[in-house]
Protein backbone atom coordinates (compact mmCIF):
# COMPACT_ATOMS: atom_id res chain seq x y z
CA UNK A 1 0.00 0.00 0.00
CA UNK A 2 1.30 3.42 -0.96
CA UNK A 3 0.96 6.04 1.73
CA UNK A 4 -0.21 9.36 0.36
CA UNK A 5 0.55 12.74 1.86
CA UNK A 6 -0.80 16.11 0.78
CA UNK A 7 1.03 19.24 1.89
CA UNK A 8 -1.25 22.17 1.18
CA UNK A 9 -0.40 25.83 1.60
CA UNK A 10 -2.77 28.75 1.75
CA UNK A 11 -2.73 32.39 0.85
CA UNK A 12 0.42 34.43 0.32
CA UNK A 13 2.79 31.56 1.08
CA UNK A 14 3.97 31.76 -2.53
CA UNK A 15 5.67 34.98 -1.40
CA UNK A 16 7.83 33.37 1.29
CA UNK A 17 11.36 34.65 1.14
CA UNK A 18 10.28 38.15 0.12
CA UNK A 19 7.18 38.77 2.24
CA UNK A 20 8.05 40.06 5.71
CA UNK A 21 11.33 38.13 5.99
CA UNK A 22 11.76 39.48 9.53
CA UNK A 23 8.68 37.40 10.45
CA UNK A 24 8.74 34.47 8.01
CA UNK A 25 12.44 34.16 7.20
CA UNK A 26 14.22 34.07 3.85
CA UNK A 27 13.42 30.48 2.86
CA UNK A 28 11.21 30.27 -0.22
CA UNK A 29 8.27 27.94 -0.67
CA UNK A 30 10.23 26.23 -3.46
CA UNK A 31 13.04 25.53 -0.94
CA UNK A 32 10.50 24.10 1.50
CA UNK A 33 8.89 21.98 -1.22
CA UNK A 34 12.22 20.42 -2.19
CA UNK A 35 13.05 19.56 1.42
CA UNK A 36 9.58 18.12 1.97
CA UNK A 37 9.64 15.97 -1.15
CA UNK A 38 13.07 14.59 -0.23
CA UNK A 39 12.01 13.63 3.30
CA UNK A 40 8.61 12.32 2.21
CA UNK A 41 10.30 10.08 -0.35
CA UNK A 42 12.75 8.79 2.26
CA UNK A 43 9.79 7.92 4.52
CA UNK A 44 7.98 6.26 1.60
CA UNK A 45 5.20 8.75 1.10
CA UNK A 46 3.75 9.61 -2.27
CA UNK A 47 3.67 13.37 -1.70
CA UNK A 48 1.65 16.16 -3.30
CA UNK A 49 2.82 19.70 -2.47
CA UNK A 50 0.65 22.67 -3.50
CA UNK A 51 -0.05 26.33 -2.76
CA UNK A 52 -3.06 28.49 -3.59
CA UNK A 53 -4.42 31.93 -2.89
CA UNK A 54 -7.94 30.64 -3.56
CA UNK A 55 -10.05 29.27 -0.73
CA UNK A 56 -12.21 27.24 -3.12
CA UNK A 57 -9.15 25.61 -4.70
CA UNK A 58 -7.80 24.75 -1.25
CA UNK A 59 -11.11 23.11 -0.36
CA UNK A 60 -11.04 21.11 -3.61
CA UNK A 61 -7.53 19.86 -2.80
CA UNK A 62 -8.50 18.89 0.76
CA UNK A 63 -11.43 16.93 -0.66
CA UNK A 64 -9.02 15.30 -3.13
CA UNK A 65 -6.78 14.28 -0.20
CA UNK A 66 -9.81 12.74 1.48
CA UNK A 67 -10.74 10.80 -1.67
CA UNK A 68 -7.13 9.61 -1.99
CA UNK A 69 -7.11 8.44 1.67
CA UNK A 70 -4.13 10.71 2.24
CA UNK A 71 -2.68 12.26 5.35
CA UNK A 72 -2.67 16.06 5.33
CA UNK A 73 -0.26 18.76 6.36
CA UNK A 74 -1.95 22.10 5.98
CA UNK A 75 -0.55 25.57 6.42
CA UNK A 76 -3.82 27.40 5.91
CA UNK A 77 -2.16 30.81 6.42
CA UNK A 78 -4.88 33.48 6.22
CA UNK A 79 -7.53 30.80 5.72
CA UNK A 80 -6.93 29.77 9.36
CA UNK A 81 -8.99 32.51 10.85
CA UNK A 82 -12.74 32.11 10.64
CA UNK A 83 -12.80 29.97 7.50
CA UNK A 84 -15.54 27.43 8.23
CA UNK A 85 -15.59 25.93 4.69
CA UNK A 86 -11.89 25.01 5.02
CA UNK A 87 -12.54 23.54 8.47
CA UNK A 88 -15.45 21.47 7.16
CA UNK A 89 -13.25 20.08 4.39
CA UNK A 90 -10.44 19.22 6.83
CA UNK A 91 -12.94 17.31 8.98
CA UNK A 92 -13.40 14.88 6.06
CA UNK A 93 -9.81 13.61 6.18
CA UNK A 94 -9.54 10.21 7.87
CA UNK A 95 -5.74 10.03 8.05
CA UNK A 96 -3.64 12.20 10.39
CA UNK A 97 -3.86 15.96 9.87
CA UNK A 98 -1.12 18.33 11.01
CA UNK A 99 -1.89 22.02 11.00
CA UNK A 100 1.29 23.99 10.46
CA UNK A 101 2.26 27.62 10.95
CA UNK A 102 5.75 29.00 10.33
CA UNK A 103 5.34 31.52 13.15
CA UNK A 104 4.02 30.98 16.65
CA UNK A 105 0.51 32.27 16.06
CA UNK A 106 -0.12 32.34 19.83
CA UNK A 107 2.60 34.96 20.29
CA UNK A 108 1.28 37.23 17.54
CA UNK A 109 -1.40 39.90 17.58
CA UNK A 110 -4.94 38.88 18.46
CA UNK A 111 -6.21 38.40 14.89
CA UNK A 112 -3.60 35.65 14.32
CA UNK A 113 -4.07 33.69 17.55
CA UNK A 114 -7.17 31.59 16.98
CA UNK A 115 -7.14 29.15 14.10
CA UNK A 116 -10.49 27.55 13.40
CA UNK A 117 -8.67 24.64 11.71
CA UNK A 118 -7.03 23.44 14.94
CA UNK A 119 -10.19 21.73 16.20
CA UNK A 120 -9.98 19.24 13.31
CA UNK A 121 -6.21 18.69 13.42
CA UNK A 122 -4.55 15.66 14.95
CA UNK A 123 -1.57 17.89 15.84
CA UNK A 124 -0.52 21.52 15.47
CA UNK A 125 3.03 22.72 14.86
CA UNK A 126 3.74 26.43 15.03
CA UNK A 127 6.75 28.63 15.54
CA UNK A 128 9.41 26.26 14.17
CA UNK A 129 9.93 28.25 10.99
CA UNK A 130 10.37 26.42 7.70
CA UNK A 131 11.69 23.42 9.65
CA UNK A 132 8.13 22.95 10.91
CA UNK A 133 7.29 21.28 7.61
CA UNK A 134 9.88 18.56 8.20
CA UNK A 135 8.69 18.12 11.78
CA UNK A 136 5.15 17.77 10.43
CA UNK A 137 6.17 15.06 7.96
CA UNK A 138 7.88 13.12 10.75
CA UNK A 139 4.78 13.56 12.91
CA UNK A 140 2.56 12.25 10.11
CA UNK A 141 4.84 9.23 9.73
CA UNK A 142 4.60 8.48 13.45
CA UNK A 143 0.86 9.14 13.67
CA UNK A 144 0.12 7.01 10.60
CA UNK A 145 1.90 4.03 12.15
CA UNK A 146 -0.32 4.31 15.24
CA UNK A 147 -3.61 4.29 13.33
CA UNK A 148 -5.65 1.09 13.39
Give the CATH number of the domain where residue 75 resides. Answer: 3.40.50.9100
Active site residue 114: no
- According to the annotation, is 102 in a ligand binding site? yes
- Sheet-wide strand order for 97-101: 45-51, 3-9, 71-75, 97-101, 123-126
pLDDT at position 106 is 77
List of long-range contacts for 142-145, beta carbons under 8 Å, 24+ apart: 143/71, 143/96, 143/98, 144/3, 144/71, 144/95, 144/96
The domain total for the chain is: 1
Q: Range of 48's domain?
A: 3-145
Q: Which residue among the candidates 6, 22, 24, 106 is catalytic per the annotation?
A: 24
pLDDT at position 113 is 58
Q: What is the mean pLDDT of residues 63-88?
A: 92
Q: What is the mean pLDDT of residues 65-77?
A: 97
pLDDT at position 3 is 96
What percentage of the chain exceeds 70 in pLDDT? 94
d(CA 127, CA 97): 17
Active site residue 24: yes
- Total-model pTM: 0.94
Q: What is the mean pLDDT of residues 4-24?
A: 91
Q: Which residue among the candidates 6, 22, 101, 106 is catalytic per the annotation?
A: 101
Amino acid sequence: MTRKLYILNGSNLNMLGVREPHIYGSTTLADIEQSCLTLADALRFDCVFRQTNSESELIDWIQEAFLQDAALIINPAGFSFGRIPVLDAVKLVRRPVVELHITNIHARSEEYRHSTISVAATAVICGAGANGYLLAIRAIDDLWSKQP
